[in-house]
């Protein structure tokens, strides 16, 4: 009986070893993240575990592939110091109402979210291309909800972006405030918010609380909080 048990263990280890060897890299949590990795829990896990050096390298690749256009920003001191941040100018074919400051992780996650999810989901749900994202900002040196006794907001480290509206190639402009109440656009906006969970630590929308009635808050804190 003991010999049979050892044989079974040996077979299981051998199968696991062979399976691991042939496992596609995007299913393997121990291989480096690639910009071509599909969305999913493994990609999200890799995004969360990137070293500053690896993030910077991938962000550079994303710039070369025109998934995003960023410019380096000098570190700053003060009450809310910034380190290793960039200024995001656009997401390739998707323009912005204004540039914004972002940590490397926020910039990279946003580039992947827009290219892998926001653009194709918009085409699927609306039949038109996503051409512009409007936002309310990213960096703000403040506590959560401006409460003096609260911890620092993600905005204080440029690790969150508040998206307020989307513009389509057909000329339509859909705001979160009004679009969320429309039976025509709410399913599409809900699909975008749900998809954001695969890239950001949290994605908060109008159903989270009244403070988010007019925007999606996409931040790097936590892991997969999306509502």
pLDDT for 32-65, tens place per residue? Answer: 999 999 888 888 889 888 999 999 999 999 999 9
pLDDT at residue 18, as a whole number: 46
First CA to last CA across the chain, in angstroms?
A: 53
- In this prediction, residues 84-93 reach a mean pLDDT of 97
Residue 10 reports pLDDT greater than 60: no
- Per DSSP, the residues of 1-16 read -HHHHHHHHHHHHHHH
> Whole-model pTM?
0.86
The Cα 7–Cα 128 span in angstroms is 58
**Can you name the residues that pair with 95 across neighbouring β-strands?**
132
Residue 226 reports pLDDT greater than 60: yes
As given in the structure block, the two tokens for residue 163 are 């998206």
pLDDT at residue 90, as a whole number: 98
pLDDT band at 121 (very low <50, low <70, confident <90, very high): very high
Residue 67 reports pLDDT greater than 50: yes
H or E stretch covering 62: helix 52-64
H or E stretch covering 90: strand 85-90
Label residues 190-221 b or e (16+ Cβ within 10 Å = b): ebbbebbbbbbbbbbbbebeeebebbbbbbbe
pLDDT at residue 14, as a whole number: 45
pLDDT at residue 222, as a whole number: 76
Least confident of 61-65, 69-73, 89-93, 220-224: 220-224
* Residue 204 to residues 87, 213, 219, Cα–Cα distance (Å): 23, 10, 9
**Average pLDDT for the chain:** 88
Q: Where does 91-184 show beta strands of DSSP type E?
A: 95-96, 100-103, 130-137, 160-168, 173-175
Reported as a single tens digit per residue, the pLDDT across 162-213 is: 999 999 999 999 999 999 999 999 999 999 999 998 899 999 999 998 989 9
């Amino acid at each position: 009986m003991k010999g049979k048990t050892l044989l079974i263990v040996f077979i299981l280890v051998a199968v696991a070893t062979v399976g691991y060897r042939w496992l596609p890299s995007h299913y393997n949590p121990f291989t480096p993240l690639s910009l071509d990795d599909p969305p999913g829990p493994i990609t999200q896990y890799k995004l969360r575990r990137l070293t500053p050096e690896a993030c910077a390298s991938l962000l550079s690749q994303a710039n070369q592939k025109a998934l995003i256009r960023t410019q380096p920003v000098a570190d700053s001191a003060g009450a809310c110091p910034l380190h290793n941040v960039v200024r995001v100018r656009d997401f390739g074919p998707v323009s912005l109402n204004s540039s914004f400051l972002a940590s490397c992780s926020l910039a990279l996650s946003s580039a992947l979210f827009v290219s892998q999810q926001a653009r194709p989901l918009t085409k699927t749900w609306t039949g038109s291309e996503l051409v512009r994202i409007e936002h309310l900002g990213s960096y703000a040196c403040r506590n959560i909800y401006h409460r003096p006794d609260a911890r620092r907001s993600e905005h204080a480290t440029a690790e969150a972006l508040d998206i307020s509206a989307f513009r389509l190639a057909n000329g339509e402009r859909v705001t979160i405030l009004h679009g969320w109440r429309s039976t025509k656009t709410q399913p599409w906006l809900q699909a975008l918010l749900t998809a954001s969970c695969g890239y950001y630590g949290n994605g908060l929308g109008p159903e989270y609380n009244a403070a988010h009635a007019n925007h999606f808050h996409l931040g790097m804190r936590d892991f997969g909080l999306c509502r």
